[in-house]
Amino acid sequence: MPRKFTQLAFTPAVKAAQEQRGSRQTYARFEKNGLDNDTITPQIGEFIAQMDGFYLGTVSSNGYPYIQFRGGQPGFLKVLDDKTLGFADFKGNVQYVSVGNLSENDKAFLFLMDYRDRKRLKIWGRARYIEKDDQLIERLKVPNYEAEIERVILFQVEAWDWNCPQHIPVRYSEQEVAVLQARITELEQLIAAQ
């Protein structure tokens, strides 16, 4: 069975570009072998639970893509079942570009980057926003996070793919750097005391 993400990403124009540049034969084999990659596995669930941010891509009525970073405490993007992700959508700059786009076109994309471990996960699907659903808001609320929740966004997974780690720069969070700096200070004090 063909991998689902190749059905979505490998359009005729993409296949033509692969053919012209010599990679089509390799990707034709790749398309036919392997898992569908259309459900959230336990490994992906663990990866998502550690993320403190991701990029949400939507498409406007004029055909332009729009990408916005969504951030919060690790685990704010939640696995609701093996096909559904959800997150509380916090009050931001009130432009509502993603909300407007989703009101006309539910095709969406999530791009999750783990810079420290050089991993990236691409997820294709369909998204919708839901407002004024207290039960769902409560389910997706992040404990001890005071930002105002305007709505929730549910993301129906159609396909995913782990992407090559090549060219991902290694970066650390502010908290990780603080731990490392504290350890460096501790070691410098030990050396100075000798």
**Residuewise pLDDT in 10s, the chain (194 residues):** 457 888 888 989 999 999 999 999 988 888 887 778 899 999 999 999 999 999 999 999 999 999 999 988 889 999 999 999 999 998 888 899 999 999 999 999 999 999 889 999 999 999 999 999 999 999 999 888 888 889 999 999 999 999 878 888 888 888 889 999 999 999 999 999 88
* Residue at 75: amino acid letter: G
Query: For residues 35 and 83, what is the distance between their CA atoms, to the nearest angstrom?
Result: 15
pLDDT confidence of residue 153: 97
- CATH architecture for segment(s) 37-166: Roll (2.30)
Query: For residues 69 and 111, what is the distance between their CA atoms, to the nearest angstrom?
Result: 9
Query: For residues 45 and 97, what is the distance between their CA atoms, to the nearest angstrom?
Result: 28
Nearest to 125 by CA among 92, 76, 71, 80: 80
Q: Which residue has the tokens 């089509």?
A: 24
Q: What is the DSSP letter of 29?
A: H
CB 48 within 8 A of CB 110: no
pTM: 0.86
